[in-house]
Structure 1
Amino acid sequence: MKIKKTYSFAFWSSFYITLLTAFALFLSAYFLLDIWLSFTYLLLYISIVFLFTFLIIQYRLEKFIYQRIKKIYDSVSILDKSDLNKTSITSDIDTLSREVQKFAESKQQQIRNLNLREGYRREFLGNISHELKTPLFTVQGYLLTLVDGAFKDEKISLKYLNRANKGVDRLISIVKDLDLISKLESADLNLNKQPFDMVKLVKDVFELLEMKAKKRNISLLLDKHYEFPMMVIGDVERYEQVLTNLIVNSIKYGKINGTTIISMEPHKGKKILVKVKDNGEGIKEDHLSRIFERFYRVDQSRSREQGGSGLGLSIVKHIIEAHNEQIFVKSKAFRGSEFSFTAEKLEQF
């Protein structure tokens, strides 16, 4: 076992002090007192001197090192002093240096994370401000036009009221989505878990989105014919929302005359993996880590042209995590995207 450096220092310091003390004692006894000390007495004396010298030196070294390091900690205001108390005192300089380095790196990472979150927070506030401001100003503009006299023209008033109503609908959609995310984050949303057939749910969502897909001539397909149901346990309404949001995204950003393919397969024994794959424009790698953030848009101009609250993928992620499941994404620019999520499989299936 490697001897710690301060122990080694204390040992040799004590050894030299003991030798010097023993030599001084021998000289004093022989020349001044003119007596011979017995070997046993000399050995006992040397042992006592060595032991106490070693303990005193080692203790003082530990206290010295600890006090100096604590002073360094105290001098850096951003460091948490409670972290120092959690770490055992060591007199090994190498170990202590590694601990301090590790501690400093941990704090630097925390600072980077805080700066990153602050950047996300500012961006989020800017995004939500923009998302709310646009429909609000639209509604206000149409209503002011009507107040200024346009209401007298029946055709214009009807057209403007319909446009204002669309703006209100978008505001309601954003507020509802934000409320849903808040409930999911605070675990305030009660999930009504029950068995259901995932294949049937996918087909139902296909029917629901058939007209939207036809506008871009995108085919909604299953990867194969499923002879038997794929029974899972979960909140069917929430999973419907997950599939709807993912398929709507694949339609919005899919290639015209393209396809959206849904597949289901067993995953790690007790799970089913549902995949939503398109052959659209795809997502660049540097965007993948942020696509589940609220209001984050890969292409700002294209996304707002397509409409939506900008909260779809964030809602998907929260719903999946509320079921204690996982969501994955694979994508390359101009090669399409694949979103997949797990669901708990019903045991007898």
Structure 2
Amino acid sequence: MPTKLKKSYKFALRSSLYITLVSTAFIALLLYIPALSGARGGSYGRLLLIFAVTNFFFCFFIIQFRVERFIYRRVKKIYDDVSLLESTSFHQQPITTDMATLTREIEKFAQGKKLEIETLKVRETYRKEFIGNVSHELKTPLFTVQGYILTLLDGGIKDKAIRKKYLQRAAKGVERLIYIVRDLDMITKLEVGDLHLDYSTFNIVEVVENSFDLLEMKAAKKNITLTFDMNYEEPVMVYADKERIQQVVTNLVVNSIKYGKPDGTTEISIENLIKNKVIVRVTDNGEGIEKQYIPRLFERFFRVDKSGSRKEGGSGLGLSIVKHIMEAHNEKIYVESVYGIGSEFSFTLEKEVEPPRAVK
């Protein structure tokens, strides 16, 4: 396979050839008159040939050296300037004077920077929205508590009936604040990996039943039925943090009740997924979720219904907590929904770890 010359070598070769031809022709012209006066033709030809070859190589090395130095200085300046922005991309590579290679590296760097800038813009938008949501969620109960306390200080405390009612409402506002702060603290711990998971083997059917018992009255207010898809006579043993999975199931059932239609149904099924996994499905026939909102469901404070959902209470962090808990377990959570028909949230769990059998 023929060796491909560097572009700077081609430039030096051609330049040397042109200079040699011109200078040789000029020397030949200068020597032409003495040659006519009787100089030997053979000596004259050899002299021109030696001059041409010597001049060619001399020009080649001078031009090549100058071009390399000229380009190197300017390319090195480009590397130094770019390296100030991204040291990991350029400091590990040798400096090249080949323009095609340099162009590819600069284009690659530019594409990487463009992607990074777009990512930062998305994060900045998310940050602004998140701060706005946090301030709104905290502002509502804070102003509520402040309003009731100021009313009592302005003289309402003298009326026993008003005093009791306003203190109870203020207490509910404080309770909501504690709920939001507690959930934010949990998400922070989950994100930084600071929340310890206490793995154990337990019956997932029992966990679902506990959630049903806890939320029975909440569901009864909208006449929503909480049920299994079948009668689970045998326990379904899984290996996870029981307390956290209880929280996941409870949050998903609460969510289905919150957005469920009156006289609706929330159904939970537990199915074998693969040999060592089960999948738990929470299905409702509520209002459903529009397709464009599904990718954002697990964001902090994101609400599909910006007004109605707040009437139901909650911190707006339930689904985000669910997602982080499942990720901490290295498990998956899925959502499927058809607007106007209903939604299904599902998550996977590892089955019970069977002890090794004794060898007889």
1:167 aligns with 2:166: no
1:13 aligns with 2:12: yes
Larger Rg: 2
For 1:8-54, what per-residue CA distance to the aligned partner results, in whole angstroms no more than 9, with x for missing partners?
4523532551585499689979x69937769xx99996996598468
What secondary structure does 2:238 align onto?
strand
Which of the numbers 68, 73, 79 marks the counterpart of 1:70?
79
RMSD: 3.6
Figure out how many residues of one structure are paired with residues of the other and give that number: 344
What secondary structure does 2:311 align onto?
helix
Q: How many Å apart are 1:192 and its aligned residue?
A: 0.8
Which of the numbers 116, 139, 148 marks the counterpart of 1:133?
139
Contact 2:239–2:349 at 8 Å: present in 1 too? yes
Identity %: 49
Map of 1:234 onto structure 2: 240
Contact 2:8–2:68 at 8 Å: present in 1 too? no
Which of the numbers 99, 115, 126 marks the counterpart of 2:121?
115
1:103 aligns with 2:103: no
Which of the numbers 202, 207, 210 marks the counterpart of 1:204?
210
Q: Distance in 2 between matches of 1:112 and 1:266?
A: 41
Q: Distance in 2 between matches of 1:268 and 1:42?
A: 84
Q: Distance in 1 between matches of 2:231 and 2:53?
A: 93
For 1:73-127, what per-residue CA distance to the aligned partner results, in whole angstroms no more than 9, with x for missing partners?
48xx8x4355332444344434433332232222122222222222222222222
1:310-349 alignment to 2 at 5 Å? 310-348=316-354
What secondary structure does 2:226 align onto?
strand
Contact 1:62–1:90 at 8 Å: present in 2 too? no
Q: Distance in 1 between matches of 2:233 and 2:252?
A: 24
Contact 2:79–2:95 at 8 Å: present in 1 too? no
Q: Distance in 2 between matches of 1:277 and 1:46?
A: 88
Q: How many Å apart are 1:135 and its aligned residue?
A: 1.4
Question: Match of 1:186, as an amino acid?
Answer: V
1:56 aligns with 2:55: no
Question: Match of 1:188, as an amino acid?
Answer: D
Which of the numbers 277, 281, 285 marks the counterpart of 1:271?
277
Which of the numbers 224, 228, 234 marks the counterpart of 1:222?
228
Q: How many Å apart are 1:194 and its aligned residue?
A: 0.8
Q: How many Å apart are 1:266 and its aligned residue?
A: 3.4
Shift of the 12–168 alpha-carbon distance from structure 1 to 2, 3 Å rule, reads: closer
Between 18-27 and 272-281, the greater mean CA deviation after superposition: 18-27
Q: Distance in 1 between matches of 2:26 and 2:174?
A: 104
Contact 1:254–1:280 at 8 Å: present in 2 too? yes
1:307 aligns with 2:306: no
Between 242-251 and 273-282, the greater mean CA deviation after superposition: 273-282
Between 136-145 and 203-212, the greater mean CA deviation after superposition: 136-145
Between 55-64 and 219-228, the greater mean CA deviation after superposition: 55-64
Q: Distance in 2 between matches of 1:138 and 1:19?
A: 89
Contact 2:303–2:316 at 8 Å: present in 1 too? yes
Contact 2:268–2:281 at 8 Å: present in 1 too? yes
What secondary structure does 1:289 align onto?
helix
Shift of the 153–19 alpha-carbon distance from structure 1 to 2, 3 Å rule, reads: closer
Map of 1:186 onto structure 2: 192
Q: How many Å apart are 1:137 and its aligned residue?
A: 2.0
Contact 2:152–2:163 at 8 Å: present in 1 too? yes
Shift of the 346–156 alpha-carbon distance from structure 1 to 2, 3 Å rule, reads: same
What secondary structure does 1:334 align onto?
coil
Q: Distance in 2 between matches of 1:340 and 1:261?
A: 12
TM-score scaled by length of structure 2: 0.80
Shift of the 133–169 alpha-carbon distance from structure 1 to 2, 3 Å rule, reads: same
Contact 1:10–1:58 at 8 Å: present in 2 too? no
**What 5-or-longer segments of structure 2 have no aligned partner?**
356-360
1:258 aligns with 2:264: yes
Q: Distance in 1 between matches of 2:275 and 2:105?
A: 42
Question: Match of 1:194, as an amino acid?
Answer: S
Contact 2:16–2:57 at 8 Å: present in 1 too? no
Q: Distance in 2 between matches of 1:255 and 1:267?
A: 30
Q: Distance in 1 between matches of 2:288 and 2:97?
A: 56
Shift of the 47–338 alpha-carbon distance from structure 1 to 2, 3 Å rule, reads: farther
Question: Match of 1:284, as an amino acid?
Answer: E
Q: Distance in 2 between matches of 1:82 and 1:338?
A: 45
What secondary structure does 1:330 align onto?
strand
Q: Distance in 2 between matches of 1:166 and 1:298?
A: 24
Q: How many Å apart are 1:283 and its aligned residue?
A: 2.1
